[in-house]
Amino acid sequence: MKDFQVNCSSITVEDIFSDTSVDIRLILENCLNDRYLSTMDIEKLFLTTGKDKQAVLKIADFLRNKVNGNHVTFVVNRNINFTNVCYMGCKFCGFAKRANQLGAEWLSTDQVVKRAEEAWHRGATEVCIQGGLHPKLPSTYYRDILIAIKKVLPKMHIHAFSPFEIWYGAKKSRMSYADFLEDLKDCGLGSMPGTAAEILDTKIRKKLTKNKLSAEQWVEIITTAHQLGISSTATIMYGHIDAPKHWAIHLDTLRRIQVKTGGFTEFVPLSFVHYDSPLYLENPSLVRAGATDNEIELMHAVARIVLHGFIDNIQVSWTKLGAEKARNLLSMGVNDLGGTLMNESISRAAGSKNGQEITEAEMVKIIRSARKTPIRRDTLYRTLKTYNQEDTIDNSSPLVSRNGSNPLSFLN
Ligand code: SF4
């Protein structure tokens, strides 16, 4: 086995593995030799502690550096959640409201377009559009939004509609998933968020979502989208009633889909936000209060290792973890900070206090504080701008006032 570089200093494999257990060393060496890790191997990596865990983090950082170099990417985008009305009753969800409930919202197509135009003028190249499954949503609503945005902003990339929304829209339209997706693609759909995956394990998923969208249906919809040329992200929601064996199965499922389609652009671990989640509030003794810091580190690092050669980009969600933890994960396998977002509402509705936006200038600062080179990318990971030290960066205020809070205070 060759020597390699971790954090720019020459370290030999023997250095990293000097105090590592034989079992974990073998698994990590298998990964470095491009061998497929079994779900049992993956679970073992999730359970590492002490020196074994340190070896996992270092190998993840090595693989990140091998694939992404010193670059860390982000996208300037805006989140548009067009309605929070939803009767699906997912137990973890703090976002959904009844139609007559205080704070219930449903944006018209014109309002969605206006938000997209504002985003474009603030430099966004992407709008990320998702919403609840409003019972009165016309079956044409999804295509109407796409057509209306593309009419005024033909170059805006529209990253929209989770597999749950595709399931709902196809059902309402009495169309197959493939026909429904193909129509959306023709109307301007650029790519899809791979949300609503939660945990792709039948038993756990049934408890979380009442099995409204089964793991099999999620896989079928995502696979169909990829086969039609609609790429997507891949996600996991962890830190509730789940365990490492479920994470291992989940990663293996994503890997299998990727082998078949090549359609995933990135993997985004989403740690469960418990504060205002009914799942937690109704069962505080049975449901965990989100992932621990140890689990968060291992989730990102193990994902990098398991998905190496399959999915090149591991994204951290700053809305779930905050800017400081997101920055720290840049040395544990992560190479992407996600979007500037402008309006974040889903994590906020579940009690997250990490704000609605991290501006372009702040993204650059965070990345530089990790001694990495900031890159602004488009949705499909094409480089739009590499930031050199001398560049002046648009320092505009966030779209929504923060009332004095500063997500970058940890850098002071
Ligand atoms: S997670 Fe989505 S589908 Fe489930 S209740 Fe919340 S808004 Fe509805």
Distance 403 CA to ligand 1 centre (A): 29
Ligand 1 atom having least distance to the Cα of 209: 4
C-beta of 90 in contact with ligand 1 (< 6 A): yes
Helix (H) or strand (E) holding 383: strand 383-386
Ligand 1 atom having least distance to the Cα of 213: 3
Distance 49 CA to ligand 1 centre (A): 35
Q: Are 277 and 92 in contact (CB under 8 A)?
A: yes
Specify the DSSP class assigned to residue 411. Answer: G
Q: Are 332 and 62 in contact (CB under 8 A)?
A: no
| Mutation probe of ligand 1 site: the residue of 88, 106, 161, 273 with most atoms within 8 A of C-beta | 88
The contacts of residue 203 (CB under 8 Å, 6+ apart) are none
Calpha distance 347→359 (Å, rounded): 18
Q: Are 349 and 81 in contact (CB under 8 A)?
A: no
User: β-strand 9-11 against 4-6: which pairing, if any?
Assistant: antiparallel
Ligand 1 atom having least distance to the Cα of 162: 2
Angle between the 50-68 and 293-306 helix axes, to the nearest 10 degrees?
Answer: 50
Residue 411 pLDDT: 92
**Dihedral through CA 248, CA 253, CA 255, CA 256, nearest 10?**
140
Whole-prediction pTM: 0.95
Distance 17 CA to ligand 1 centre (A): 44
C-beta of 93 in contact with ligand 1 (< 6 A): yes
Half-sphere exposure of 157 (CA within 13 A, CB side): 22
Residue 8 pLDDT: 43
Q: Are 314 and 304 in contact (CB under 8 A)?
A: yes
C-beta of 92 in contact with ligand 1 (< 6 A): no
Half-sphere exposure of 339 (CA within 13 A, CB side): 26
User: β-strand 77-81 against 126-130: which pairing, if any?
Assistant: parallel
pLDDT tens string, the chain, 412 residues long: the values are: 544 555 445 567 678 888 899 999 999 999 999 999 999 999 999 999 999 999 999 999 999 999 999 999 999 999 999 999 999 999 999 899 999 999 999 999 999 999 999 999 999 999 999 999 999 999 999 999 999 999 999 999 999 999 999 999 999 999 999 999 999 999 999 999 999 999 999 999 998 988 789 999 999 999 999 999 999 999 999 999 999 999 999 999 999 999 999 999 999 999 999 998 889 999 889 999 999 999 999 999 999 999 999 999 999 999 999 999 999 999 999 999 999 999 877 777 778 788 889 999 999 999 999 999 999 999 999 999 999 887 777 777 888 888 778 889 999 8
C-beta of 95 in contact with ligand 1 (< 6 A): yes
Nearest CA to ligand 1 atom 2: 132
Q: Which of these, 315, 248, 188, lies nearest to 42 by C-alpha position?
A: 248
Ligand 1 atom having least distance to the Cα of 84: 7
Distance 352 CA to ligand 1 centre (A): 17
Residue 392 pLDDT: 72
Q: Which of these, 134, 125, 42, 57, lies nearest to 88 by C-alpha position?
A: 134
Ligand 1 atom having least distance to the Cα of 164: 3
Distance 375 CA to ligand 1 centre (A): 33
β partners of residue 5: 10
Q: Are 253 and 39 in contact (CB under 8 A)?
A: no
Provide the greatest CA pair distance for the chain.
63
The tokens of 356 are what? 């609605």
Calpha distance 326→310 (Å, rounded): 23
Distance 304 CA to ligand 1 centre (A): 28
**Dihedral through CA 96, CA 99, CA 100, CA 103, nearest 10?**
50
The contacts of residue 314 (CB under 8 Å, 6+ apart) are 64, 266, 267, 300, 303, 304, 307, 333, 334, 335, 336
Distance 131 CA to ligand 1 centre (A): 8
Distance 278 CA to ligand 1 centre (A): 12
User: Fold for domain 72-399+407-411?
Assistant: TIM Barrel (3.20.20)
Domain ranges within the chain, ordered by starting residue: 4-68, 72-399+407-411
The tokens of 288 are what? 């965990």
For the beta carbon of residue 234, count every other beta carbon within 10 angstroms. Answer: 30
Residue 397 pLDDT: 86
The contacts of residue 371 (CB under 8 Å, 6+ apart) are 70
Ligand 1 atom having least distance to the Cα of 89: 5
